[in-house]
Chain A
Amino acid sequence: MDINFTPDELAEVRRLKAQYPESKAAIMPVLWMAQKKFGWLSDDVMKYVAEVMELPQSHVLGVATFYTMYFKKPMGKFHVQVCTNVSCMLRGGEEIYDHVSHKYGIKHNEHTSDGLISLEEVECMGACGGAPMIAINEDFHENVTPALVDELLTALR
């Protein structure tokens, strides 16, 4: 795949850089942009981000690996994040995780062979009032049950 931002995206990078006192601060939003466009942060993507950010590649790698939400390997089209932290655990979060894991034969940070679904056991997502919860890509789903998760995932497919 050709790893390049469009001129519009490059303009957005310039805007982001300008809104901070030092342009380096724009690295997080630019990594978000890159992940959205290229799906995950491969070495080549990070190299490209380093170029547009005018930063050493090692710095980009350092930042990208610090945060769990930047993907360092390809994930599924539907990235299922299941919270198993205490509030969710008390209300069945682990059962939800096991259910998805068994059903699709994938473990933490793995994806199905067709590339559709990936699974991540996440730490508290800040939806404890609706525990147990999962997130599919960017959307939260609260008070879920295994059956409801199945429904959600079938609807997406």
Chain B
Amino acid sequence: MYKTPHLVLPKIDKLHELKTYVSNGGYEAYRKAIQGTPDEVIGTVKQSGLRGRGGACFSTGMKWSFMPKGNEKPKYLAINGDESEPGSFKDRQIFEDNPHQLIEGILIAGYAMGISKAFIYIRGEYHKWVKLMQIALADAYEAGYVGEKMKQTFGNDYSLDIIIHKGAGAYVCGEETSLMSSLEGDRAYPRIKPPFPANKGLWGMPTTINNVETIATVPAIISIGADAYSKIGAAKHPGTLLFGLSGHINRPGVYELESGIPLKELIYTVGGGIPGGKKIKAIIPGGSSMPPIHPDEIDFVYMDNESLKEFGSYIGTAGVMVMDEDTDLVKVLLRLAHFYHHESCGQCTPCREGCGWMEKLLKRMNKGEATSHDIDVLFSVASNIEGNTICALGEGAAWPVKGFIKKFRSEFELRVKPNRSFVSLNVVHGRRNTSETLVQIL
């Protein structure tokens, strides 16, 4: 079933149906996994070099190995299908085209960590895909691949239950601790780490949270072997990635490709270039939270986390947003600032207030009422959010702002008035010498 680069979304007709999945070798990877001990499965995943596909790029095998051994306490697995990052729409494709591989991945992960209950958290807007997953899960239960009956099907004494939980429209739920709060029935406030979820997660029990794509990759790894998998794509970030192309591009969509593909190839060969043959102004390489890439850099960027780091960005969720030469970057950034302001959960002051402040500054800039000094204020507000919040939403809001100002400052300079200063004999007034309000009063 697994032919590179189509490991997560094999090109097989009607693969979403259980019988097609099974006749193409589905649930065989789980059979293979349980031939070995749970520790061997974790070892394989570690050795494969699989890194989380939710954006943090943390080693999946390592994450699994943090879970305590033994069965004194219940342990939980939560699958993060909240997918609310602007520019990413890849997990949806898995729910639609290959739900059983996700379920099989959950079985393997569950076996490796000794988990008896797993939750798939799917964002509320995905009504259709929640239903598709429910159908797939019901089929898997009925055929005895999940639940109590799986003991008999696979001939060992491990079983697992899977529950689908539907969100209700909150971007912050994609943050793992916030997702746990949401699942427990509270307002989805992120929690301070440590304690890490592997020690104290859902209902205070050891919990692992993995992205949908990460888990859907696991059966392929077990099937083709860790060695073969680790040789696919970029050495430090191996495997295939689901790239989501959107914005000003001729062929938008989700493409499964080997990691480390040159950005230029991704845009021009895979995506078919820019409509009207226009030039590129900016590219967001991995969902809206990731700092942008300048057109001068495009020739040198490879789409894996290590290469993107050299250009001050990250792979994130591999949602690539392309903006052509006519794009108004102030407006784009304003839209993003509005998004983060709207989605900030309100727990941490720097994020709650700072995101609002950034939006106001950008609104002013968009209207042409800001001064050059405001660009520095904007940068400093972003810097004061970054690193000062419980969860990564703060960074998500700050990075694009800082990234756009760093790489496209001239765009912003064009939209602001020069600083004005006034000579005043009054010391206090003299210190407020960039004051726009003073202009208005005068």
Residues of chain A touching chain B, judged by Cβ–Cβ distance below 8 Å, are: 19-22, 24-29, 31-32, 62-63, 66-70, 84-87, 89-91, 122-131, 135, 138-140
Contacts and interface: CB of A to CB of B under 8 A. Distances in A.
A89 B332 CA distance: 8
12 contacts: A21-B203, A24-B184, A24-B186, A32-B168, A69-B168, A90-B248, A123-B343, A124-B288, A126-B83, A126-B126, A129-B246, A135-B125
A21 B161 CA distance: 12
Interface in B266-287: 284
A106 to B, nearest CB: 20
Nearest to B165: A28
Contacts of A22: 184-185, 203
- Interface extent on B, as a size class? 35 or more
Of the candidates A63, A122, A129, the one having the most CB atoms from chain B within 10 angstroms of its own CB is: A129
B170 interface: yes
A86 B336 contact: yes
Q: 6 shortest A-B CB distances, which residue pairs?
A: A67-B168, A128-B246, A69-B169, A138-B127, A124-B86, A24-B185
A124 B163 CA distance: 25
A140 B284 CA distance: 24
A124 B124 contact: no
Contacts of B100: none
B308 interface: no
B321 A86 contact: yes
Given A123-B84, A123-B343, A128-B321, A67 B203 contact: no
Given A21-B74, A22-B185, A25-B185, A86 B248 contact: no
Contact of A19 (B163, B185, B247, B253): B163
B168 A139 contact: no
Contact of A127 (B85, B89, B336): B89
A63 B187 contact: yes
A47 to B, nearest CB: 17
Interface in B64-78: 74
Contact of A26 (B91, B185, B323): B185
Contacts of A20: 163, 183, 185
A136 B339 CA distance: 21
Given A26-B185, A124-B84, A129 B168 contact: no
B244 interface: yes
Contacts of B91: 126
Interface string B133-169: 0000000000000000000000000000001011111
Of the candidates A25, A67, A90, A139, the one having the most CB atoms from chain B within 10 angstroms of its own CB is: A90
